[in-house]
């Protein structure tokens, strides 16, 4: 049987023109697959991310810890927590039951070459990861969601990112009930996740003042029969930022309002001196 018969059919069955079209289509498909494979294939790479989890419930705050690992189904990529920072929410003076949580994490993903961009893409479990991305982390015993605020190749901790120090401050507590005034003493501390963030170094108190008006309209200042004005000197764990010293993410200075929790005793006062 001739290769091409008198009707132009290949092997007497397929028209030569149709066969050429099929070959061209196959070539296009193969080339497309090669391009997609080239774009999707990448090199394994490890980067380090700061992820803002913001307000978190108690059960997450209690469980989240260094070494927690988030894995992704169908992928070898993972995210491992390397550092945790817990800060009472500033929205209610630092006395929130849902504090702000920030983590630093080691991210094992892929670097994808992309000629259309100035920089190669970095992706985790097939999804691009960049600043501002919201990412869901399934840690096995809990799940949380956060926003990527820093991403790079540096393994620095959160404490490295901000210079930490201790600051002594005098705090004025006005018109304090006797049970609270008597309960405040030197050596009391406030701790967060086992770390001391405030220590009472000195306590002084005096009777609180009360302003009275007589029947004839005269104003008198008298000592309150029970309540007291208390001044405490505390050593605070603070961070140094470009705008000044901060305690729990809030600027610390004369006139600042501050809330402290000593062994379940909440006190609120005004900073009158900072050393």
pLDDT tens digit sequence for 169-225: 999 999 999 999 999 999 999 987 678 999 999 999 999 998 888 888 888 888 999
* The pLDDT value given to residue 172: 97
Query: How does the average pLDDT of the chain come out, rounded?
Result: 81
CA distances from 74 to 71, 77, 138, 177, 202 (A): 9, 9, 14, 60, 58
Cα 47 from Cα 129, distance rounded (Å): 10
Report the candidate in 211, 54, 38, 213 with the shortest Cα–Cα distance to residue 135.
Answer: 54
What's residue 184's pLDDT? Answer: 95
Q: What is the mean pLDDT of residues 60-70?
A: 91
State residue 31's pLDDT score: 52
Q: What b/e sequence results for 24-40 when a residue is b if at least 16 CB atoms lie within 10 Å of its CB, and e otherwise?
A: eeeeeeeeeeeeeeeee
Residue 153 has what pLDDT? Answer: 80
Among residues 171, 168, 175, the alpha carbon closest in space to that of 206 is found at: 175
Cα–Cα distance, 79 to 101 (Å, whole number): 16
pLDDT tens across 113-164, in order?
877 666 688 999 989 999 999 999 999 999 999 999 988 887 777 766 566 7
Closest CA to 172 of 272, 46, 38, 52: 272
The helix, strand and coil proportions of the chain, stated in percent and rounded to the nearest 5, come to 15, 55, 30
**What number is the average pLDDT over the span 17-45?**
57
Alpha carbons 189 and 202: distance in angstroms, whole number: 12
% of the chain beyond a pLDDT of 70 = 77
Residues 218, 210 contacting (CB under 8 angstroms): no
The pLDDT, as a whole number, for residue 8 is 52
Provide the pLDDT for residue 68.
Answer: 95
Q: Which pLDDT score, from 0 to 100, does residue 241 have?
A: 78
pLDDT at 24: 57
Kindly tell me if the per-residue pLDDT of 99 is higher than 50. Answer: yes
Residue at token pair 């100035």 = 118
- Per-residue pLDDT for 97 more than 80? no
Decide: 98 and 91 in contact? Cβ < 8 Å. no
Is 48 within 8 Å of 154 (Cβ atoms)? Answer: yes
Query: Residue 100: what are its φ and ψ, rounded to 5°?
Result: -80, 140
> What pLDDT is stored for residue 48 in this prediction?
93
For the cut 80, the answer to whether the pLDDT of residue 237 exceeds it is yes
Q: Which residues pair with 43 in a beta bridge?
A: 111
Host H or E run for residue 19: helix 16-40
Q: If 0-12 CB within 10 Å is exposed, 13-18 middle and 19+ buried, where does residue 20 land?
A: exposed
């Amino acid at each position: 049987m001739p290769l091409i018969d008198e009707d132009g059919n290949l092997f007497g069955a397929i028209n030569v023109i149709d066969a050429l079209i099929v070959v061209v289509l196959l070539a296009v498909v193969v080339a497309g697959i090669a391009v997609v494979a080239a774009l999707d294939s990448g090199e394994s790479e490890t980067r380090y991310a700061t992820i803002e989890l913001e307000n978190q419930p108690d059960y997450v705050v209690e469980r989240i810890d260094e070494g927690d690992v988030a894995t992704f189904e169908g992928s070898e990529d993972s995210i491992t927590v390397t550092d945790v920072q817990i800060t009472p929410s500033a929205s209610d003076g630092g006395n929130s039951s849902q504090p702000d949580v920030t983590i630093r994490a080691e991210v094992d993903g892929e670097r994808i070459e992309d000629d259309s961009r100035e920089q190669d893409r970095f992706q985790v479990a097939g999804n691009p990861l960049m600043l501002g991305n919201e990412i869901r982390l399934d840690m096995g015993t809990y799940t949380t969601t956060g926003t990527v605020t820093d991403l790079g190749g540096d393994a620095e901790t959160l404490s490295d990112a901000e210079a930490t120090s201790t600051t002594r401050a005098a705090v004025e507590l006005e018109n304090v009930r006797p049970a609270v005034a008597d309960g405040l003493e030197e050596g009391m501390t406030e701790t967060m996740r086992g770390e001391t963030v405030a220590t009472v170094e000195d306590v002084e108190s005096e009777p609180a003042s009360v302003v009275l008006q007589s029947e004839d309209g005269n104003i008198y200042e008298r000592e309150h029969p029970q309540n007291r004005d208390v001044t405490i000197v505390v050593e605070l764990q603070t961070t140094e930022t470009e705008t000044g010293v901060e305690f729990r993410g809030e600027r610390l200075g004369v006139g600042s309002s501050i809330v402290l929790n000593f062994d379940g005793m909440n006190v609120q006062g005004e900073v009158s001196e900072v050393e």
